[in-house]
Chain A
Amino acid sequence: MCGIAGIIYRDSKQSEKLGADLISIIQPLESRGPDSCGVAFYSDSATGSKPIKLIVRSDEPPSDRIRSSLHDWLRQVAPVQSIDIVADSYRILLNPVEDLRFDLKPFMQSLHQRFPMLHFMSAGHQLEIFKEVGEVQNLVSKYSLSPFTGSHGIAHTRMATESTVDLDHCHPFTSSYDLSIVHNGQLSNYYRLRFQLERAGIVFETHNDSEAIAHYVYYQLLQGLTLEETLEKFLTEVDGVYTFLLATPEKVALVRDQFAAKPAVIYETDEKVAIASEYRAFLNMPGFDPSATIREPDASEINVWTVGAHQRQPQLSTLGAK
């Protein structure tokens, strides 16, 4: 059992509610996943030149000494706009440079070699990931998440089944810039999937099967597939029980396996879409409207919502005609 939740606004005016809304629906799902919790927020997409945000978590209490040596080290690869200390993490803004898209994997590896106490959390123009072993409330107060603004976000409460409980094994998982997933379930063909992805050059950071979803999606997108094609392929190639949410700057997808073995409920109004593992999670959401469209996705159903789009209908795909 795990809890997953997501918020997508149809209207950019809503964005200042993101932190409060997403936390209000993941908090009740703590009973589904008491051992760790995480959120992935997407800040509003700004036009023009946007800095790249890096969230790096430290095992030791952050210090100005580490911050300045991090600054000096990062300056070799990109102009550093700022490095802020947020609780036990460093929030780094790198100024965009033509062709800056440095490869994340070598960057993460050399970061860890140079600063063994630092853990890479997320990178992107919009994405920020915060996660923590323990209660939702700890995470929320530690990073002051409630006032967080943005266009969409996903969240997770974890009950570990297959891999250890520590920070690195918490959701959300990311595999590239601005790409994040949260997953409830188990992948049956994880080892084969991992082997195939590793043969293709993907480096796994953890032993959590959910990490494979993030890598699989990124790999397929690299091959030129669209997000929708990737997810349809996922349904045919990945075995197991899963309901997962995937977010990019433009889209949020909800995928359910062909047996619909893990729950999900979708809440839709003209203002927003909210997704949660259980209906009761919506009840404390600010402005909850009991007359909103509330439905369960079917087995093998893929829902893809475009962030900020006003049309009510998500892009729908149902394979296997279950």
Chain B
Amino acid sequence: MTPTTTRSHPVIDCAELTTREINQKLKALASEGIPQADLDNPAGRHNLGVGLEQPIHLVFHGPVGYYCGGLSDGSTVEVMGPCGWSVGENLMSGQITIHGNASANSGASAHGGKIAILGNSGPRTAISLKGATVIVAGDVGHSSAFMMQDGRFIICGNAGSNLGDSIYQGEIFVGGEIHSLGADAKLTPMTEADWHTLETELSPLGLTARDYDFKKIICAQELYHFKAKDFSKWKDAY
């Protein structure tokens, strides 16, 4: 870990504070217009850096627990390590970058902004995504993008079973293999505009879109007007 003396930004040692104190301190720093804060010893604790409504750049030097960076509007978060469940849950805007693996439910219900996971992400990644962009450099688990309502979900690796189950809107890109698609999700041909979008999204993360065999998944819209006689379209859902 970098010695605190060489860092020009405020450094918070999480070990000395309660989670509430850490988050209040971060809010105070953001409202003072401090551009960046470094956080040491996050030690897998939950709810770190949540609910920030003013811009600030946070760097967590170590693993974080559940809900990291969630509910925020405009802050940017970098985690130098893995993260627990529901990273960036309900994110409104800003960016969260995880330099490691993520657990389940990453980017759950995120409305805006960007969540980039540079490792793998667990089951139910981007569940109920409402408009944010979720990028996973590795694989994602089963039931990812379940009930996705809007936004963009880019998976460079493989996707587990039931990808995009009951998707309403938005687009999913998978660079690897798809174990299975969920109800009402369908493959659609990639266009030049899609490749351009992927290049724009992935190049800041040091990833090259053309290195992957991207496939695009959207909503088949067969369940928009569901009738009981069409039960077969729905029966494979949970």
Contacts and interface: CB of A to CB of B under 8 A. Distances in A.
Contacts of A280: 43-45, 63, 65
Given A298-B141, A321-B179, A279 B161 contact: no
A260 B65 contact: no
Given A278-B65, A299-B141, A260 B44 contact: no
A177 B86 CA distance: 40
A263 B141 CA distance: 14
A278 B122 CA distance: 14
Interface in B49-63: 63
B85 interface: yes
Interface residues of B, number: 18
A278 B179 contact: no
A76 to B, nearest CB: 53
B143 interface: yes
A83 to B, nearest CB: 44
Contacts of A260: 104, 122-123, 141-142
B99 to A, nearest CB: 15
Contacts of B151: none
Contacts of A321: 161, 179
A135 interface: no
Nearest to B44: A280
A241 to B, nearest CB: 12
Contacts of A298: 141
Interface in B114-128: 122-123
Nearest to A262: B104
Given A263-B103, A279-B82, A280-B43, A296 B122 contact: yes
B131 interface: no
Interface in A285-322: 296, 298-299, 321-322
A279 B160 contact: no
B237 to A, nearest CB: 13
A283 interface: yes
Interface in B161-195: 161, 179
B134 to A, nearest CB: 18
A259 interface: yes
Contact of B65 (A259, A279, A296, A322): A279
A298 B123 CA distance: 8
A201 B142 CA distance: 39
Interface residues of A, number: 12
A118 to B, nearest CB: 41
A279 B85 CA distance: 11
B125 to A, nearest CB: 12
B113 interface: no
Interface string A163-194: 00000000000000000000000000000000
A279 to B, nearest CB: 5
B70 interface: no
Nearest to B63: A279
A260 B143 CA distance: 10
A322 B141 CA distance: 8
B166 to A, nearest CB: 15
Contacts of B84: 278-279
B143 A259 contact: yes
A260 B82 CA distance: 19
Contacts of B45: 280
B26 to A, nearest CB: 19
A266 to B, nearest CB: 13
A260 B141 CA distance: 10
Interface string B29-73: 000000000000001110000000000000000010100000000
Nearest to A294: B82
A107 B104 CA distance: 45
A185 B147 CA distance: 23
Contacts of A299: 123, 141-142
A13 to B, nearest CB: 29
A34 to B, nearest CB: 15
Interface of A: 259-260, 263, 278-280, 283, 296, 298-299, 321-322
18 contacts: A259-B142, A259-B143, A260-B142, A263-B103, A278-B44, A278-B65, A278-B84, A279-B44, A279-B63, A279-B84, A280-B44, A280-B45, A280-B65, A283-B43, A283-B44, A299-B142, A322-B142, A322-B161
**Across chains A and B, which 9 residue pairs bring their CB atoms closest together, nearest first?**
A280-B44, A279-B44, A322-B142, A260-B123, A322-B161, A283-B43, A280-B65, A280-B43, A299-B142
